[in-house]
Structure 1
């Protein structure tokens, strides 16, 4: 029984092997009602498999903070198991690329999760719903942030155990005000052993169509490489700006992004599948390497897929290479100017050398020409 005299659902197990901080805060239902203006529909900022998400003002200690309040829908296929899994996972996991859980509320049939507010919403929204003009570098940084979060889940929670997310997708990658990516929604997550790479969890197949590891679907054996496969789909989603599954077509023509992209790559149509908004921003070397990373994530044999640690390192390498490429494209203007100045018939270091009017006119003419030419490079 709760302090208010209302029955609580069974509490999460305290025997978890996860190492971490103290359990998160328990909110009274009245606090949640006040924070969301009694679940005012105008405050709804999202809706998922669990239920609606509201923007609310939560009193946390002595501060009033904006929070995302996720309320279980009575018609949802998820329930107490997913609710307590999320509470248990996020109260003990802390990383800058994982969404933070402030607290929870369970009151009768009400199950509510309170998270840090992510003002830029989901990656899915920006790619598919809002048409946000995300640059290639911005997309790369989002991918790197998400990959770091997954790497931490797989290996960073303790020596003996890790966490398999089981529902990696663009709608579960949230974006902070500085566009930092954070992994969210741990309702389907499972604990796994980290000291044995081949260890798997035998479980009922759950996840999202289009991101689901075919090997996991066929065998029911869930491994960290199942997350890697799903992340490979996200990489293609970011590159192509296409949904994992396009259900707007007739059912027989549904587009499976992973299969479509892999076939296009084999046919040599790589450049044609890239989102046109970023096609001219990607260096050929970086494009080739990024696609190679995605292909390794999507390998049919889970043992041949990359680890998330390898994905992080590879994506960071692509970012470094792209930044070098961008810098090299900005240097021709300075190089041309330097060469032309060296060709002038007099020293040009700012000193007064008694330059003749004809020489000065020549200098100004050359300078103007260089400026116009460099601008069109």
Structure 2
């Protein structure tokens, strides 16, 4: 008989390749690849991967179907997926190289992994494939079945010529043999392979096969008693019944055997015309088990030992005919063997029963009475059981009714689900429309911002023109007498206002002289009287009077009048004292909040920009010369050593107007280049402003302050140098201010920022937010009821222009722009890298905030 031959264990086919299916789970696929490397038998390894392009793409925290997006967006995302896949395949290839083998890499793109594997096997005529049969968590030593739906699909539908080995956690659990002739393949459990660990005394795994007509699993046990029982039950029927499946006498014999390298299944094909070939379906049995069962059954009959040989090596039809073995004779032989064995067993059992009866007779009498009691008890229990059974039947009836009701509810629920799915589809369409509108709104907003920037440029040009006109007016007014800009007071009026300079009315004193609080002409004023030995002489006195009498600004101290005979200057009285006193909490005054400090810095920047536009440099900026009114509004004073810059005198670097003069003022606040060159410029005030800003931030003395702040920046320990008495500083704003102040304090004059174009653009938005925080909304009882999602995570204030970033969180637009402009590309909330820097306005939240603010 011609049989198709398969490679047996140990043979190597040089031209064969072993394909190993790997997936995205590196851990599980790695064990499959390593098993294939160790058991390849010298064959070339080919890595096979099925790539599934994503059907949905995540954008801004939401997944969109690919048909809802632009083609280039889908292509870009799929290309990124392919790059990730290529990196994964490189790792698998590196694993092969580490094992000393090179590997080919193949991949196919398909929506279904299992369909992709089946398609690849068919297209490339794959002969051997290794793939995972179950997840690692499902593995056990007794596993003989596949747990993976993909593995089951491939096992059933792959090309019959492909031999497939299924592994789990580095162990072979199932092998599907391949057929060289292309015929349908049977499915078998794994035979014991050379590298399979088995415990001592355990039998090899039995082979199994599907019977194509009945799908029944045939099993035979070896003990003789089971054999006898089966023979007895089928006595005279001509059929042998095993595990509920009837087998004809011919079905108990096997007509051939073919060795299989991967399954170890024993099969035999019947010859044409044989009377024993009465079963057309393939019947697969464990030949070892049948041989043991038949050997044990026939060993008791020495006269029929030849039967064993006939079963193991069945003779051709011609030989059987010579012996006269027909179906009737065979059935009689089996029946005779069964009856003889049954008789022998019955005799043995009868002997045992007699011996036992002799022993039991002695005890029988003593158990009669106990048996009667047990019978009575058993009868009572039966009645109880019958009653309980009756109740159970009633409950079953009720449960059936309830199930009917549940079925009706389930039907209704399914209808509702269908309606909800329809609504969800409508919602998806609505979301798509809203996204399109949102993109349009973003584009419109960008156009508005561009127009705003253009208007800002025009506004700056108009302001510059206005300042030039003011300068011309000031030059024209300088030719006239200065007496028209302030009131001249007599010395007796000054003495009367200060009660002859009563020491109890003195509110300040310095190198220039003393300041008294007084009332003159029914007005509360501050009177500054210069000493004869003061550092400021008549020239400085006249200069301060001229400057203050001609200039007006909300953050300049107001000149009331002067007494030129006694060098007395009379200002408006400011009850808040000086910034130096408030920073030191003089007279137990409360510390300034961080909002107030930012506002004071912005006001000082504003008045300096005004003075510089008038070609005036203060030259003596320090907290003692910055006065506060009752509302803590800052007003700059003490213009004794201020200088008017000349347009004809240029500094040594020829970049700005300057004035050459002897250095005067407080040393720690003075410009280092002014000290070394004697050139006073507007950048000298910028340096002093930077020192004052550092003092507002830290509350520490000015001496050596820049070195302390620089050390904290280098050590990333900025939080520890901020003044804790000012409250909880918003870290982002504080960091911006510290960097801005250090920029202003640069020792090189040309490196310092411009107050109008650079410093003011940072301080003014902060000043606005601080003004909001100090409003009645925050000062009222409603502050504790502010919804948390109204608060900006950076500024810790109510948002005015909320925008959504790429991390999905909402921020104040100005705060997040400052965060991104500082060079950061991470999320302020998660510290993860932002996918992009796009900002989407949150109109819904903005409307909610405005509505909440308008509530009484």
TM-score higher than 0.5: yes
1:73 counterpart residue number: 531
Structure 2 gap segments, 5+ residues each: 1-473, 792-856
Shift of the alpha carbon at 1:111? 1.0
Runs (4+) of structure 1 moved beyond 6 Å?
A: 322-329
Change (3 A) 1:333 1:23: closer
Mapped partners of 2:707, 2:590: distance in 1: 26
1:93-112 → structure 2 map (5 Å cutoff): 93-107=551-565, 110-112=566-568
Change (3 A) 1:43 1:273: same
2:442 counterpart residue number: none
1:212-361 → structure 2 map (5 Å cutoff): 212-245=670-703, 256-278=704-726, 281-309=728-756, 310-320=758-768, 330-332=786-788
Residue from 156, 175, 196 that aligns with 2:628? 175
Structure 1 gap segments, 5+ residues each: 1-15, 246-255, 336-377
Change (3 A) 1:262 1:23: same
Aligned partner of residue 645 in structure 2, secondary structure:
strand
TM-score after normalising by structure 1: 0.73
Aligned partner of residue 166 in structure 1, secondary structure:
coil
CA contact (8 A) 1:128 1:242 kept: no
1:83-122 → structure 2 map (5 Å cutoff): 83-107=541-565, 110-122=566-578
1:368 counterpart residue number: none
Mapped partners of 1:38, 1:83: distance in 2: 21
Change (3 A) 1:198 1:233: same
Mapped partners of 2:673, 2:477: distance in 1: 30
* 2:510 is the counterpart of 1:44: no
Shift of the alpha carbon at 1:322? 6.2
CA contact (8 A) 2:486 2:549 kept: yes
Shift of the alpha carbon at 1:222? 0.6
Change (3 A) 1:266 1:321: farther
Change (3 A) 1:325 1:288: farther
Residue from 127, 131, 143 that aligns with 2:601? 143
Once the two structures are superposed, what CA deviation does each residue of 1:316-371 show, in whole Å capped at 9, x if it has no partner? Answer: 12344667899999432889xxxxxxxxxxxxxxxxxxxxxxxxxxxxxxxxxxxx
Aligned partner of residue 750 in structure 2, secondary structure:
helix
Mapped partners of 2:671, 2:706: distance in 1: 11
Change (3 A) 1:18 1:211: farther
2:495 counterpart residue number: 33
Once the two structures are superposed, what CA deviation does each residue of 1:61-96 show, in whole Å capped at 9, x if it has no partner? Answer: xxx110000011223222112111111111111101
Mapped partners of 2:477, 2:631: distance in 1: 29
CA contact (8 A) 1:289 1:318 kept: no
CA contact (8 A) 1:210 1:257 kept: no
1:166 counterpart residue number: 619
Shift of the alpha carbon at 1:49? 2.2
Mapped partners of 1:258, 1:25: distance in 2: 43
Shift of the alpha carbon at 1:258? 2.4
Shift of the alpha carbon at 1:313? 2.4
CA contact (8 A) 1:56 1:66 kept: yes
Q: How many residues align?
A: 298
Mapped partners of 1:166, 1:294: distance in 2: 18
Aligned partner of residue 277 in structure 1, secondary structure:
helix
Shift of the alpha carbon at 1:263? 3.0
Structure of greater relative contact order (alpha carbons < 8 Å, 6+ residues apart): 1
Work out which of the two has the higher radius of gyration on C-alpha atoms and give 1 or 2.
Answer: 2
Aligned partner of residue 520 in structure 2, secondary structure:
strand
Change (3 A) 1:324 1:178: closer
Residue from 634, 642, 645 that aligns with 1:189? 642
1:123 counterpart residue number: 579
Mapped partners of 1:267, 1:95: distance in 2: 41
* 2:590 is the counterpart of 1:132: yes
Shift of the alpha carbon at 1:295? 1.4
Aligned partner of residue 68 in structure 1, secondary structure:
strand
Shift of the alpha carbon at 1:260? 2.4
Mapped partners of 1:319, 1:49: distance in 2: 34
Once the two structures are superposed, what CA deviation does each residue of 1:267-286 show, in whole Å capped at 9, x if it has no partner? Answer: 322111111223x5222210
Shift of the alpha carbon at 1:23? 3.1
Mapped partners of 2:595, 2:700: distance in 1: 18
1:10-29 → structure 2 map (5 Å cutoff): 17=475, 22-29=484-491
Aligned partner of residue 228 in structure 1, secondary structure:
helix
Mapped partners of 2:491, 2:738: distance in 1: 48
Mapped partners of 2:633, 2:647: distance in 1: 27
Change (3 A) 1:312 1:30: same
TM-score after normalising by structure 2: 0.33
Aligned partner of residue 485 in structure 2, secondary structure:
coil
CA contact (8 A) 1:50 1:76 kept: yes
CA contact (8 A) 2:599 2:770 kept: no
CA contact (8 A) 2:512 2:530 kept: yes
CA contact (8 A) 2:602 2:763 kept: yes
Aligned partner of residue 99 in structure 1, secondary structure:
coil
CA contact (8 A) 1:44 1:55 kept: yes
Shift of the alpha carbon at 1:299? 1.4
More helix by share: 2
Change (3 A) 1:267 1:321: farther
CA contact (8 A) 2:598 2:770 kept: no
